[in-house]
Structure 1
């Protein structure tokens, strides 16, 4: 019972400290009750079962042995009687012998019969005493059980009943408050429901998803509402009615596409075009806000694909240089040496955002080390926020190495988290096991909105700019972002 209550506490009920304390107290009560009950069962077993088993083992064995002896003599008596009846009258010697044998067997049978009856009477007498004694012992154990339970509950009620009553009163007040708040639930519905995006996708590789109208390419130019997703650098769609349908790929490579608003003279509102080398797709969102959100998501994806392509070309040139001038093992040694050196910087032994151990990715413009889950979210915000590289597979430029060696997770977090609250942080800080949605909310608030950065005055901002320029001369590259990008005028 206590195990079930603890499981209910941690899986179904809210993590309210007062509620948890009350449930723990109730769980302890049930655990102690079970302990008293187990003790009662054990003592009752000793009082009843053991004595009865001993009686059955000893007395019954004696009765059984006497019964077997009685049956054996009964058979012998029958044989002596038969032999006596079969002797011829003309043979007096045989008649005398048969009579003597019958007398001896009959005497033994009579004594054995008396022993058998006596053993049965003794067993019955012992049985009556044993049963009454066992029942009386069980009654005393019941008295002890209920006395212990009564004493325990008296003591527990005197100590805990007030706290649990207060918790129940608090929960009842909370229940009434929730009911009152739910009465105004319809006021939360916006005037135009479809103005807002559908929310964060549960799939990690989906950049954005939602409903769009698409115009058919047939002669009638009909419009159909479909569920669209930007996934795996593709634009795909599916019907709403079939959950197991294989999505249709509208564009397999968004890198070759262009996104632009629909012509101003187009008859429908909230429309945009996806221009490809072979055709133009005309799509319509449910509102202008959603239209802008879809265009931004597609543009970010296309921009990311172009950036990745350029990075691949640059890495290919570096690899070719390595192949021509030095063995590949030398490049791997350089990467391992850089990774070891970076992890010796304070804070770099874990991910800068979720705290996962042994990060193998880096943001070369933020100067932090990341795990693979947080790295994907950094990529989704575009290179204008974070430029992510692998410390194991990618080859970094000397300037990029200097940026990473000059900063580190602790130094960057001291700026981006300088004004973080000590408790009730919104959004909550993720851990290594957090979901993608929680990580994305935290990274957006930390780097895009810079919600926890300490705002500085205009004078301090000018001083920071001068420091950044001097630092930029000493360490070429993008390291000066830490002052230019973070310091904002005081509002």
Structure 2
């Protein structure tokens, strides 16, 4: 069933609905003008045809009389006689053509214009009258003073009646639009087919070009028959649907307002609100508001460019306003301005307040890992509002371009991981892949436990995140998540595929994991034990603080057995013999959690991603090694990117081993300053104490590691400042942000500079 306008959309009376009916009205008006002109032209043609037939018959009679003159010449007489008879038959047929056109074309077109279009105009006038009445009732309801109850009741009752009448009129109008859209095709096509059929009969013997249209006319005739059937069926279905909706209770006062943070069109909430102007007159205007892209915007007409009220919802708060004389008011307060809004009812007021609060929470959820603090963002916004300069935005843009170049240089990253569209500008930071804007929206709808989406050009990127993205890439991840695609013979979507096809593919790939290679069933234990050499090495390193990092990174997506790693990829040091001992270990039958545990120590990102794809618990605990976790294993080899990968995939930064030492304890003991900085940014507890009743600050002081002591004390001071300022206060001293940002860059780009105190505790 073809529906030009949806019945539910008209009940919302949105600018989108107004824009659609405006298009329909213009189309009907233009159609009426053209049909009236066509009817006049048809009448002129018919009159001219009748004159032509009459004159032609006189000419034929002249030919016949001329033939009588040639009675002695049988050739001329027979020719003129036959020609006059043939022409007379043709003229008789042409007279029938004229009468047929009069009945089939002109009459049908006139009937459509005089009856169907006129009925459409009448319903339209009734709709516009109800719309004007509703606007007046809304205005009176909004202006009713809070203290005069009788006026409030009168305004409310008037609004109720006006809205009910408007919705009834709107439904009737939408029905008429859909009916006329369905009927005009069949009527016009029927008239044209009748015209062509009689013309074809008339010129069939003498005009080859018309005879060539026989098959085409036959096809159109069949389609016209089907159009008639479809039009009747659609009309019946729409009348039944119209009747069913009209039977519903339309006397409710409040329109339906739904908050949907994951809406496909990006609009989390929309509806009408009154907005008080900031001029001296403080006038109120009714506008269509919406929450989209973490912004509060409004527009007067659907085609207007939205006006931004709040540029970033993270920088604002919302609260009811009881100081104003008007009812149902609430305030949206941002650092640069305060906007006073009014809903139509208390229910709508609460719905909008709740929607703005939820949007604020969603905005913080989506951007909680941004490199810039809330204070810095607030400062940049304030400076831009004041017209101030500064190089912050330029630096951020430069960093964004650098991140884009580095990440897209990874094999496979120049095309979207899921549909293959060129030059993707979005990424999933926990999967380590690049995405086009359509696939990124689908990934965002999966939830952050499956995919964390970030823009390569619009968001700021921390150096450890860039380093993480460069360790994986589309080619690596697709070898894991599409390992069995050839066996299953499911067609992968391409850039031009429909959004529904892409969404089905992405859910099958990442949520249902239909295409990954199934692990063999084994009876092995999930406990892992270190060899004596590894235990000795771990004890020695803990005692000497410094630990050399292993860096074997085989170029494979899945590695059930880690025996193909080349010793040349490993750092040449005293642990080479220990590596050879580990090289003999068969990991093919390991449980995914144990595989993640082993690969974290080896900094093998493809194997880590493979283990997570097969359901590995990112917080898996190895009871055989002091309840150590994959995150602690990554700490033991100073693997910054591996720690970031585990944290992005849900690793608990405060999960401690059997000695009550969490990742922050181990990083402090081993002197890994970059990891200490990372864990503090990710919310590590610097007050946690181990079995020896030592917190990380005490351990750092004992090891004389000034950098780590500085980081821990600044983090503690920053926390105290936030506690003093309250929950809605700034994020602490800007020095804290600068220091941690510098350490992040150094740990990712120049890690050797952070080892100057680790080797010598006395220095």
For the criterion TM > 0.5, the same-fold answer is no
Q: TM-score range by the shorter chain?
A: 0.3 to 0.5
Q: What TM-score does the superposition give when structure 1 sets the normalisation length?
A: 0.42
Name the structure, 1 or 2, with higher relative contact order (CA <8 Å, separation 6+). Answer: 1
* TM-score w.r.t. length of structure 2: 0.30
Larger radius of gyration: 1
